[in-house]
Structure 1
């Protein structure tokens, strides 16, 4: 069943293949896609396999706090981006978020932004590969997980390399459709398999699900709050902002993100139900035992559907981040170093595909050293938010200053997150990515208003 789905995904990608005639078309398609496929590919990007796995597991760990966390982060970030999208008219001809940064702040911030995104993307792709490996190992005992995972990665590389973002968009739509069908079915299946537990009455007796716990300043609650703040702004990243550049205009981009926020609420509702059903049925499970319990209480056919869903989500996220890395290296880093815009299309395309291959190797190596999804989630925040988020938001809002201003802000963000991770996070378990982003923004404002003024 899983192999058939993977082959179907590859077939869909090949059917929608169209030879790109320019690097712009390879990166953004023809910018004539309707709102529905753009919304579908954005949903597929947002709901990677790691998001489902981590959400269900951490409900066991954090309780009601995590329920509110995933509920609020399912729609608030995309409402915020839909508002930002309406202000991005000056950037609609750019190919990437880094190019927009370079247009405002110069080539060095553009290169730093690209390197930061590559690190962010490697951590994200590592999460997705881990999800594929774990889901396969939980459900298929007769086949070694590494074999099927390798097969999945090969398919991902094939259709990501053939025709760029256009193939990724249409395969993402198919994967989103599968996910939308399977997640409600999985929640209903675990509800039936665990004997239709009385959720409300049981949760009322659990300490982690008391409403007053949300407002206590305990270390666990503060850790959730800092992750919530980081998650709100982590969606302002290159692969997601790329969907704005793929739109015909700012208005369509705003509508895409608005519809995504509504549909995201629907998906999150069933993810929460799945986590709550599992907790009520087996409240004493450790985080690592949650998915093993779920798989043990559903039918073999349902297990196959679960694998399809997790693999579809993981692939749809990984391929887009892989494409984003390729574009940023070939378009932003190389162009900035060469200080030219006349790089031939065929050379850019070959460089992008070679970059994708190299990123795949680096990511594969990373997953051998770290398989903790929660740690990788925080790592991806730390690699990007402290460096790139504040300069981009300020640029969209009209803060147009020199390169030195952005460099001071980026350096401040890096120093802040390094200091936080060394001295504060080990003692409090609070993530410092959002705090470092604020420090970045404040440093940029101070550097501009208190620094020496240029003579006109």
Structure 2
């Protein structure tokens, strides 16, 4: 790689570390570390949310899957930005009614009691570590393409930078770096797509060079497989801890609604850009591996100087998601588990130190998870099975319908977890027998048990209404 390209990447890393150092001076409390003092207006909320969910899966993973399966994967994965817009209109504004809430667990406890908070904290932690692992794997893949180092070394280098700035600056650093990363991805990845189309010889030549199946809505997928992927993206990352945390960081309902909705609309556009890059790479570099489709195009097709900036923007995309999940996981552990059940009167200074310490430990756990996953999308789908079949349905029901039924939530969470586990790791091939993925089976079980037990165990609120404005 040319020295100018390496310089561009080095400048990016230095800038991220400097932001972490500057942001550390603003972080005086756990509230600053978790939700940046509730001062995130909608333009910043839009940028940081978009940067967070457009990570390794939405860029490299989607390009790789489109490289393999064509635009059919894009149509299936489009479910996530659609879900984000729906959440922006109907749910995000309602999250601001919960006074002093920092986590999903805060809201779950209000509706379903302390046990629900425990389960929410545990599943939130596992989910965040899993998504972090997917981003760590993406970081390692980029470094492998950039410098020729092995993936494990690349994971360690990239994650160390993320750990340093997110540990020092908390949500303040995460949001500031996300805005920079959003600007980079919003400019350089569409530019990469444009240059790639020109190299292929224009849109007409691109269409002529691709198998017809790559342009169909279903592609080679069966209805069952397509529906499974669609539902996984529709529910798997909806209202997960980092994104809920963004809405809670907004000053009011209006900013939460606009920021979420605009981020979802941008996500639809980004789906097309990253997928088209996968198609272009299929034409120009058919022998590359799918997960390397995007970085390979950047490295080989772009001119000297621009290559380093675009690769830095690719790292920015991945790191923006990693830092969000890292921050959220540490806040979940300290707020939902440690201070709630071990040291309720934990001093603010100690709480902040704990969040920073846990930030480091969870980052190491994410590296371990990354080494177990076979590819980026596999890591994402493994993580989605920890969220949608357990926490999502009771959480949405509580926020939208103001339901308060402790037993219903606990039974639904347990049912979803057990059914998902049996489907995924049980001795029988239940997916092959039924045609349902583990995530869909878990969600169906969760909804069924929640509705049934709600009718059996309906109860009055058990917590003080003072928790809500």
Q: TM-score, normalised by structure 1?
A: 0.90
Match of 1:362 among 362, 365, 387: 365
1:7 and 2:14 aligned: yes
Is 1:137–1:144's contact at 8 Å kept on the other side of the alignment? Answer: yes
Distance 1:85 1:435 in 2: 27
| Number of equivalent positions | 449
Q: TM-score, normalised by structure 2?
A: 0.87
Other-structure match for 2:394: 391
5+ residue gaps, structure 1, are none
Other-structure match for 2:212: 206
Is 1:50–1:373's contact at 8 Å kept on the other side of the alignment? Answer: yes
Q: CA deviation at 1:416?
A: 1.6
Q: CA deviation at 1:161?
A: 1.6
Q: CA deviation at 1:281?
A: 4.2
Match of 1:374 among 377, 386, 389: 377
SS of equivalent residue, structure 1 residue 236: coil
Other-structure match for 1:78: 85
Distance 2:392 2:71 in 1: 29
Other-structure match for 1:316: 320
RMSD (CA atoms):
2.7
Distance 1:444 1:341 in 2: 30
Distance 1:95 1:265 in 2: 28
Cα 1:343–1:262 change in 2 (3 A) is same
1:68 and 2:79 aligned: no
Q: What does the per-residue CA deviation read over 1:8-30, in whole Å, with 9 as the maximum and x for residues that have no partner?
A: 12223333443434322221112
Cα 1:206–1:10 change in 2 (3 A) is same
Distance 2:436 2:90 in 1: 29
1:214-229 mapped onto 2 (5 Å cutoff) = 220-229=222-231
Cα 1:84–1:199 change in 2 (3 A) is farther
Distance 1:193 1:64 in 2: 20
Which deviates the most, 147-156 or 1-10?
147-156
Distance 2:157 2:213 in 1: 44
SS of equivalent residue, structure 1 residue 198: helix
1:306-455 mapped onto 2 (5 Å cutoff) = 306-338=310-342, 341-421=344-424, 422=426, 423-425=429-431, 431-451=437-457
1:34-433 mapped onto 2 (5 Å cutoff) = 34-141=41-148, 149-196=155-202, 198=204, 201-202=207-208, 206-210=212-216, 213=218, 220-233=222-235, 234-281=237-284, 287=290, 290-291=293-294, 294=297, 295-338=299-342, 341-421=344-424, 422=426, 423-425=429-431, 431-433=437-439
Distance 2:33 2:231 in 1: 34
Is 1:32–1:248's contact at 8 Å kept on the other side of the alignment? Answer: yes
Distance 2:433 2:408 in 1: 32
Is 1:132–1:311's contact at 8 Å kept on the other side of the alignment? Answer: yes
SS of equivalent residue, structure 1 residue 130: helix
Distance 2:332 2:401 in 1: 23
5+ residue gaps, structure 2, are 1-7, 463-469
